[in-house]
Amino acid sequence: MQRAWKRVKANKGAAGVDGLDIARTGEHLKHAWPSIRQQLLDGTYRPQPVRRVGIPKPDGSERELGIPTVTDRLIQQALLQVLQPQIDPTFSEHSHGFRPGRRARDAVLAAQRYVSQGCHIVVDIDLSKFFDRVNHDILIERLSRRVNDAGVIRLVRAYLSAGILDGGVVIERVGGTPQGGPLSPLLANVLLDEVDRALERRGHRFARYADDCNVYVRSQKAGERVMRLLRRCYDKLRLRINESKSAVARVFGRKFLGYALWRSGDGEVRRGVSEKALEAFRQRVRQLTRRNSGCSMAEVIGRLRSYLLGWKGYFGLAQTPSVWRRLDEWIRRRLRSLQLKQWRRGKTIYRELIRLGASARVAQSVAALSRRWWHNSLSAVHHVLTIAYFERLGVPRLS
């Protein structure tokens, strides 16, 4: 429990329906824990409802999160620490999501390897609202095959059945395992491992990350056979395929976990960032570097730095140095434009540019056109507000 508490504190996170954050929950548990512990041992503990939070998705829909109370996150984390070492070794080697020592990049590298072996047709599966449609009875039956402890099974079912607080009303939940609790990812893998095994028995090459699964085959006909197999498997689990996002198609042009595979001039299969992920990146950078945000340059760069480092950490596998260079140049141009506007009046622009080593002619030219931020950010200022200048301010480079 102490190890679970350390993890919950490290993960931070918002309060649940009881309104108690981590610090206040810590104080509450000092006197409440003996009673909760006894209820857990007796099998009478009942989790509180989760707090519904909707996270907007790029397509305009919402991803539903269910935020448990900190106490329930603690209990779930303790359960996870006991169950994961027992259950995780039984999962397929083709499953990469939410598992110790595995990351999205492992799934992407596996996909690249299969395509390099000549499997240029992908069966790209996207499940429709997977976490909302998990059938409790089927999941508990699959979990019972791996966990021979009635008390643990009863507690997991209690968490699955905990209601959702939405707009002050508790809604009973008869299906689904809302994202937000520590146990949900493990339970998702328990359910979907059955599909992994069906693919393995037939010798298919595939990579799965949570509910995203790509199967790589050599022909369209083989892909259509795999699609029929997957439909049967998901129907058995009462899950639904998102027809608009799933397809049997050539792998080049499809995306997987934000990456896209492409073929270089020498025929080698390489990794790149998908166009959709690049557009989302550009949109976020535009938001962070708006000229009318009212934030200081230091605040803008602080937020931008955090985002760039995280994005670079995830997409660091991409083999596209020219794309990185173009993005770096575009980001610096936006920052130059922002910096010029923050200097505001012509005399200030002139003085700052002279201080940074610009010639009087260049400083005068830029100051005279002081409101043409975007134009000036590429012309004369390019040689003053340099790469080194922004690195000193803490802007990381992608390339």
Check whether 202 has a pLDDT greater than 90.
yes
What amino acid is encoded at 155 in this protein?
L
pTM of the model: 0.85
Q: How far apart are CA 32 and CA 26, in angstroms?
A: 10
pLDDT of amino acid 216: 97
pLDDT of amino acid 220: 96
pLDDT of amino acid 171: 76
pLDDT of amino acid 173: 77
pLDDT of amino acid 377: 61
Percentage of the chain surpassing pLDDT 90?
64
Q: Per-residue pLDDT averaged across 232-248, rounded?
A: 94
Tell me the average pLDDT of the chain.
89
pLDDT of amino acid 374: 66
Q: Per-residue pLDDT averaged across 332-360, rounded?
A: 76
pLDDT of amino acid 369: 65
Check whether 153 has a pLDDT greater than 90.
yes
Q: Per-residue pLDDT averaged across 137-150, rounded?
A: 94
Confidence of residue 212 (pLDDT cuts 50, 70, 90): very high
pLDDT of amino acid 150: 93
pLDDT of amino acid 378: 65
For the record, the structure tokens of 125 come out as 């599966």
Q: Per-residue pLDDT averaged across 317-325, rounded?
A: 92
Q: How far apart are CA 17 and CA 72, in angstroms?
A: 11
Query: 323 and 270 in contact (C-beta within 8 Å)?
Result: no
Query: 288 and 304 in contact (C-beta within 8 Å)?
Result: yes
Q: How far apart are CA 269 and CA 287, in angstroms?
A: 34
Instruction: Report, in this order, helix, strand and coil percent for the chain, each rounded to 5.
Output: 55, 15, 30
Residue 262, helix vs strand vs coil: strand
Query: 97 and 209 in contact (C-beta within 8 Å)?
Result: yes
Q: Per-residue pLDDT averaged across 75-92, rounded?
A: 95
